[in-house]
Structure 1
Amino acid sequence: MPVDSSNYLIVPLLQGFEWFDESLQQSLRARGWPQLTQPQSSVMIHVILGVNRPSAIARSMGLSRQAVHVTIKQVVKKGIFDLLDDPQDKRSKIIVLTAMGQAMRRDAQATIQYLMDQLAQRIGQRYVDGLRAAFTRDWGPPIVCPVDEGQRPAAQAARKPARKSARRSDPQQPATRQRTAARR
């Protein structure tokens, strides 16, 4: 049964982000820039905001360092990023925009301004200003919804009991031989 998404702010937030990202990516492709996936675009946003250590990007995005490194290497192959030794920690790398990446950034900034102007024409400048005002305010740290005393968390109630699996006492002996030996 579909849920009325208008009741949940997270749905239009995601839809708005996807609209902006897809509009930006299509516009950049039309200008001849390489296509970036959504994860690559998210890493690029972090770098532009000054988060240039892969481990910091991974923490911010809630991803493993390995996943972020794979994404970064893909963008390096496209000629947009370069990985340099971190001057503060020789064991680490930092991400910098190449000359091509800087030119792409300039085109992206101009495109974003155009998209904001177009959005203002579609929904009204007042609403665009309201979005900007709401999203640039400090929302504070993440909130954890409290669980009432004595209330069983829904996740526990929804879990099915785990099935018992055959346990092997000798890891060298296959499980089928152990079951046969147990029947004797």
Structure 2
Amino acid sequence: MHPTRRNLPQLLGEARRWFDEALLAALDEADATPVSPTQLQLFTVLDEQGTTVSELARRMGVTRQTAHQAVHGLMRSGLLEQVPDPASARQRLIRRTPEGERAHSRAESLLEALEERLADRLGREAVDALRAALEEPWGPPPSVAVPTQR
């Protein structure tokens, strides 16, 4: 019997969890401000100039309420702040505080170190090829017909 072949989204999800778990463990070891996996994901989709909660929720693929809870937890930790949106009097932008910028910079350095560890395990060529494939523009999601059952 052949083992079930996992699909690409499953493999990409497992790869993402590998990085997230290693990053969270490294931050914990460094006595950094504790963050949840959802809060960590929020940091990765936040624009430098700030992002609305609705846009954060869309980018994360979560409800607005979930994004809102993550934002407020990070605001209580002093990593994020809310500021008026210069483009709309009705909206507010979420952005990093100076402490949030330091935390983001620390996380970026840790991710670079993790990528090097991965290159040690899989080989530099494999990691560079993976990066190159993921950086290519994929275009909009295609329309694919659902296969009929036999």
SS at match of 1:122: helix
Q: CA deviation at 1:113?
A: 1.0
Larger relative contact order (CA 8 Å, sep ≥ 6): 2
Contact 2:48 2:95 in 1 (8 A): no
1:114 and 2:133 matched: no
How many residues align? The count is 147
For the residues of structure 1 that align with 2:41 and 2:138, how far apart are their CA atoms?
20
SS of residue paired to 1:52? coil
- Is the 2:75–2:81 contact (alpha carbons within 8 Å) kept by the matching residues of 1? yes
Name the CA shift for 1:16/1:132 in 2 (closer, same or farther; >3 Å): same
Match of residue 66 from structure 1: 65
TM (normalized to structure 1)? 0.73
Partner of 1:133: 132
CA distance in 1, matches of 2:92, 2:72: 12
Q: Give me the identity figure in percent.
A: 28
Identify the residue that residue 31 of structure 2 maps to in structure 1. Answer: 32
Is the counterpart of residue 103 in structure 1 residue 80 in structure 2? no
Q: Unpaired segments of 5 or more residues in structure 1?
A: 155-184
Change (3 A) 1:99 1:40: same
The answer as to whether partners of 1:34 and 1:78 remain within 8 angstroms in 2 is: yes
Cα drift, residue 49 of structure 1? 6.2
What is the CA distance between 1:147 and its match in structure 2? 3.8
Tell me the residue number matched to 2:122.
123
State the distance in 2 between where 1:59 and 1:108 align: 23
Distance 1:51 1:127, change over 3 A: farther
SS in 1 for 2:46: helix
Equivalent residue, structure 2, for 1:54: 53
TM-superposed CA distance for 1:61, in Å, is 2.4
CA deviation map 1:105-132 (0-9, x unaligned): 1111111111111111111001110110
- Aligned 8 A contact 1:54 1:94 in 2: yes
Which of the two has higher C-alpha Rg? 1
Runs of 4 or more consecutive aligned structure 1 residues displaced over 4 Å after TM superposition: 48-51
What displacement does 1:142 show? 1.7
Query: Deviation at 1:18?
Result: 0.2
Q: What are the ranges of 5 or more consecutive residues in structure 2 without an aligned counterpart?
A: none
TM-score, with structure 2 as normaliser: 0.88
